[in-house]
Amino acid sequence: MANETPLWEVFIRPRNGLSHKHVGSLHAADEVLALQAARDVYTRRGEGNSIWVVRSVDIVASDPDQSAENFDPTAEKIYRHPTFYEIPEDVGHM
Amino acid sequence: MYSQGLIGADGRTEETEDFLAAFQRRMDAEEKIEPNDAMPEGYRRTLVRQIGQHAHSEIVGMLPEGNWITRAPSLKRKAALLAKVQDEGGHGLYLYSAAETLGVTREQMTEELLSGKAKYSSIFNYPTLSWADIGIIGWLVDGAAIMNQIPLCRCSYGPYARAMIRVCREESFHQRQGYELCLTLSRGTEAQKAMLQDALDRWWWPCLMMFGPHDGDSLHSDQSMAWKIKRFSNDDLRQKFIDATVPQGEYLGLTFPDPELKWNEEKGGYDHGPIDWEEFWRVVKGGGQMNRDRITARKKAWDEGAWVREAALVHAEKRRARQLAAE
Ligand SMILES: [Fe+2]
Ligand SMILES: [Fe+2]
pLDDT tops 50 at residue B4: no
Distance CA B138, CA B304 (A): 30
Residue range B41-51, pLDDT digits in tens: 999 999 999 99
Q: Distance of alpha carbon B98 from its chain centroid, rounded?
A: 15
Residue range B272-306, pLDDT digits in tens: 999 999 999 999 989 999 999 999 999 999 999 99
Query: Could you count the other beta carbons within 10 Å of the beta carbon of residue B282?
Result: 15
Closest Cβ–Cβ partner in B90, B94, B111 for A1: B111
pLDDT tops 60 at residue B13: yes
Nearest to B107 by CA among B68, B52, B152, B69: B52
pLDDT of residue A75: 87
Query: Could you count the other beta carbons within 10 Å of the beta carbon of residue B201?
Result: 14
Q: Could you name the CATH architecture of A7-91?
A: Roll (3.10)
Sheet holding A21-27, edge to edge: A21-27, A7-13, A50-55
**Record: contact A25-B100, CB cut-off 8 A:** yes
**Record: contact A5-B111, CB cut-off 8 A:** no
pLDDT band at B217 (very low <50, low <70, confident <90, very high): confident
pLDDT tops 70 at residue B85: yes
**A contact test, residue of B39, B111, B309, B318 with most A CBs within 10 A:** B309
Residue range B136-181, pLDDT digits in tens: 999 999 999 999 999 999 999 999 999 999 999 999 999 999 999 9
Kindly report each contact of residues B228-233 with a partner whose C-beta sits within 8 Å and lies 24 or more positions away, as own/partner: B228/B27, B228/B30, B228/B154, B228/B155, B228/B156, B229/B43, B229/B46, B229/B47, B229/B50, B229/B155, B229/B156, B229/B157, B230/B4, B230/B6, B230/B151, B231/B151, B231/B152, B231/B154, B231/B155, B232/B151
**Mean pLDDT value of segment B82-100:** 96
Question: What single letter denotes the amino acid at residue A65?
Answer: D
pLDDT tops 80 at residue B219: no
Q: Which residues of B touch A23 (CB under 8 A)?
A: 166
pTM of the model: 0.91
pLDDT tops 70 at residue B11: no
pLDDT tops 50 at residue A77: yes
Instruction: Name the residue ranges covered by the structural domains of chain A.
Output: 7-91
**Record: contact B309-A44, CB cut-off 8 A:** no
Q: Which residues contact B291 (CB under 8 A, 6 or more apart)?
A: B125, B283
pLDDT of residue A2: 52
pLDDT band at B5 (very low <50, low <70, confident <90, very high): very low
Q: Considering chain B, what is the average pLDDT of its residues?
A: 93
pLDDT band at B30 (very low <50, low <70, confident <90, very high): very high
pLDDT of residue B147: 94
pLDDT of residue A65: 85
Neighbours of ion ligand 1 (CB under 5 A): B 58, 88, 91
**Mean pLDDT value of segment A58-73:** 90
* Measured CA distances, B9 to B53, B110, B225, B326 (Å): 11, 19, 12, 53
Distance from CA of B26 to the nearest CA of A (A): 14
Nearest to B297 by CA among B109, B76, B125, B162: B125
In chain A, DSSP finds a helix count (H) and a strand count (E) of 2, 3
**Mean pLDDT value of segment B174-190:** 98
Cβ pair B5, B209 in contact under 8 A: yes
Q: Give this complex's ipTM.
A: 0.85
pLDDT tops 50 at residue B33: yes
DSSP 8-state class, residue A21: E
Neighbours of ion ligand 2 (CB under 5 A): B 142, 171, 174
Percentage of residues in chain B having pLDDT higher than 90: 88
pLDDT band at B221 (very low <50, low <70, confident <90, very high): confident
In chain B, DSSP finds a helix count (H) and a strand count (E) of 14, 2
Residue range A6-65, pLDDT digits in tens: 999 999 999 999 999 999 999 999 999 999 999 999 999 999 999 999 999 999 999 888
